[in-house]
């Protein structure tokens, strides 16, 4: 249900946005169509006005020294097809006296230019007459009365009802055409969007039909360039997820194998003690069981540490890292390890030549220091020395006076359950390596000046080391 709504929502969002854009374009087109219609109506009716004025001019004549006019009926019938409009006319002689027609028709405002659209001495202008807006034409006609020459003027006015009606009609037809075009465009867009979403539906169907353990890549064959990056990102994510699952499966298998041996040995010692009837053998069996239990507990703790490291590494990657001062943290861990070192006859010292801070997860860094010191204690004989250093360049060093690690084995000690010399749990330096990777730190194993192993961990500079947050 939710997936269907999401797909519908995407389609609906596209359609709504396109509808809004088309509506805006429709409004702009309507405004443009209206003014174009008015312009077309003005052009058509202005021509008719001028035609009526010319018809009236054709009826001018000299009546015994006076200008007179005989107005043909056709001159007043030009607009008879449109009953919404009214037509007025006025004829003025050379002195501006009324000869015929309606009185007080508005004169052309001063400065009104002659029209250049028609070969006539005519001016078009707007005015008011009898409470209505009118469009007028003033046509000048040369006349000769009793041998005297001059200019007669014919004014023809028309109310704007017919023009507006024509403009509304043109606008109405334009809006119908635009509306049909917009609806057709939306239908075509809807069909196009459905077709464009087809590859996404195919990917969705392919993922839906898969088993929960099928993390194989999704095929990108036939996908558009815009969809392929999304599928590539999904494939990259599932590849990482598959790698995590494989590592977890291998870890569980290895952990099961590592725990099976000490648990079997523990059970064998307990059974041996139960079969024995001598108190000395009981005591020995309990001592052996205690030793085996301690080793099993240590191994279990290391396994739990690996789980904590994975959670902490995810926390660091998710952006929950904090700025941590390494000097007080190193002092805290070193003080906690001093009793253990003293019990083994080993001197543990802390040297700080350059304090520094790192972006990281506090628990993981404590685990890092603890495992480095514990690994050094495990390989340093009584009377030996372990030095924990903080040096320039955000560098942490742990050096001991033990036997060291041969150069051929230095890369393998970071593998899980690899035991140098067959001792230990095989997880100490593996945990260290995982923590370094989580903090983008570089770790190296070298021969120390004290004759033993020198472990050097170099952290990124604190200002540039903060992980990118999501």
pLDDT in tens, 331-345: 999 999 899 899 899
* 346 conformational bin, left if phi > 0, alpha if psi -120 to 50, beta if neither: beta
At residue 4 the predicted structure's pLDDT band, cuts being 50, 70 and 90, is very low
Order of strands, sheet of 395-400, starting from the edge strand that comes earlier in the sequence = 347-352, 385-391, 395-400, 453-458, 442-447
Residue in 157, 138, 190, 176 with CA at minimum distance from that of residue 26: 176
Q: 268-325: per-residue pLDDT in tens?
A: 777 777 777 777 777 777 777 777 776 677 666 666 666 666 665 665 665 567 888 9
pLDDT, residue 414, reads: 61
Q: Which domains does the chain have, with CATH numbers?
A: 2-105+139-169 (no CATH), 213-317 (1.10.287), 320-464 (3.30.565.10)
CA angle 262, 265, 267 (to 5 degrees): 110
At residue 124 the predicted structure's pLDDT band, cuts being 50, 70 and 90, is very high
Q: 416-427: per-residue pLDDT in tens?
A: 545 554 444 445
Alpha-carbon distance of 330 to 341, in angstroms, equals: 15
Give the lowest-confidence range in 62-76, 78-92, 94-108, 355-369.
Answer: 78-92
Angle between helix 362-379 and 279-317 (nearest 10) = 140
Phi, psi of 2 (to 5 degrees): -65, -35
At residue 398 the predicted structure's pLDDT band, cuts being 50, 70 and 90, is very high
Instruction: Give the DSSP per-residue string, 371-391.
Output: HHHHHHHHH--TT-EEEEEEE
At residue 330 the predicted structure's pLDDT band, cuts being 50, 70 and 90, is very high
Q: Which of 337 and 245 is assigned the larger pLDDT? A: 337
At residue 163 the predicted structure's pLDDT band, cuts being 50, 70 and 90, is confident
At residue 444, the 3 state secondary structure works out as strand
pLDDT, residue 14, reads: 75
pLDDT, residue 314, reads: 62
By the 8 A CB rule, do 23 and 185 touch? no
pLDDT, residue 346, reads: 92
pLDDT, residue 295, reads: 67
Q: For the residues 82-87, what does the mean pLDDT come to?
A: 62
At residue 130 the predicted structure's pLDDT band, cuts being 50, 70 and 90, is confident
pLDDT at 62 over 70: yes
CB atoms within 10 A of CB 136: 24
Give the lowest-confidence range in 16-30, 150-164, 204-218.
Answer: 204-218
At residue 470 the predicted structure's pLDDT band, cuts being 50, 70 and 90, is very low
Per-residue exposure over 401-410, b if at least 16 CB sit within 10 Å of its own CB, e if not = bbebbeeeeb
pLDDT, residue 303, reads: 61
Q: Which of 313 and 72 is assigned the larger pLDDT? A: 72
pLDDT, residue 75, reads: 56
Alpha-carbon distance of 38 to 32, in angstroms, equals: 10
Residues β-bridged to residue 150 = 143
Range among 55-69, 329-343, 430-444 rated most confident: 329-343
Q: For the residues 420-443, what does the mean pLDDT come to?
A: 70
pLDDT, residue 74, reads: 61
Q: Which of 367 and 331 is assigned the larger pLDDT? A: 331
Q: For the residues 452-467, what does the mean pLDDT come to?
A: 75
pLDDT, residue 206, reads: 75
């Amino acid at each position: 249900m939710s997936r269907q709504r999401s797909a519908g929502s995407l389609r609906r969002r596209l359609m709504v946005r396109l509808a809004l854009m088309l509506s805006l374009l429709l409004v702009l087109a309507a405004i443009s169509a209206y003014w174009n219609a008015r312009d077309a109506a003005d052009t058509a009716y202005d021509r008719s006005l001028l035609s009526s004025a010319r018809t009236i001019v054709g009826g001018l004549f000299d009546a015994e020294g006076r200008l007179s006019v005989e107005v043909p009926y056709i001159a007043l019938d030009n607009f008879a097809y449109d009953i919404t409009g009214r037509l007025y006319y006025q004829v003025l002689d050379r002195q501006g006296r009324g000869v015929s027609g309606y009185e007080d028709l508005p004169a052309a405002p001063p400065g009104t230019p002659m029209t250049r659209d028609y070969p006539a001495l005519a001016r078009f202008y707007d005015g008011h007459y009898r409470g209505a807006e009118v469009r007028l034409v003033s046509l000048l006609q040369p006349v000769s009365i009793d041998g005297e020459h001059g200019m007669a003027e014919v004014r023809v006015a028309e109310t704007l009802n017919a023009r507006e009606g024509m403009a509304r009609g043109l606008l109405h037809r334009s809006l119908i055409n635009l509306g049909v075009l917009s609806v057709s465009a939306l239908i075509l867009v809807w069909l196009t969007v459905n077709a464009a979403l087809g590859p996404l539906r195919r990917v969705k169907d392919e993922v839906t039909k898969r088993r929960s353990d099928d993390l194989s890549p999704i095929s990108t064959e036939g996908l558009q360039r815009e969809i392929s990056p999304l599928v590539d990102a999904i494939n990259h994510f599932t590849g990482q997820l598959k790698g995590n699952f494989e590592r977890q499966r291998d870890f569980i298998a290895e952990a099961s194998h590592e725990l099976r041996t000490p648990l079997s040995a523990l059970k064998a010692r307990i059974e041996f003690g139960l079969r024995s009837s001598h108190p000395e053998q009981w005591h020995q069996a309990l001592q052996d069981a205690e030793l085996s239990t301690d080793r099993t507990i240590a191994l279990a703790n290391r396994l739990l540490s690996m789980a904590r490291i994975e959670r902490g590494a995810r926390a660091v990657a998710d952006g929950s890292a904090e700025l941590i001062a390494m000097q007080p943290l190193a002092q805290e861990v070193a003080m906690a390890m001093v009793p253990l070192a003293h019990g083994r006859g080993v001197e543990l010292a802390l040297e700080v030549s350059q304090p520094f801070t790192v972006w990281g997860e506090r628990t993981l860094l404590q685990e890092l220091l603890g495992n480095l010191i514990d690994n050094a204690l495990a390989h340093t004989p009584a009377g030996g020395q372990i030095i924990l250093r903080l040096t320039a360049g955000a560098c942490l060093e742990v050096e001991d006076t033990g036997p060291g690690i041969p150069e051929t084995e230095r890369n393998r000690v970071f593998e899980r359950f690899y035991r140098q010399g067959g001792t230990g749990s095989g997880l100490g330096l593996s945990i260290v390596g995982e923590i370094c990777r989580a903090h983008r730190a570089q770790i190296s194993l070298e021969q120390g000046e004290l004759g033993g192993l020198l472990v050097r961990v170099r952290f990124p500079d604190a200002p540039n080391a903060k992980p990118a947050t999501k």
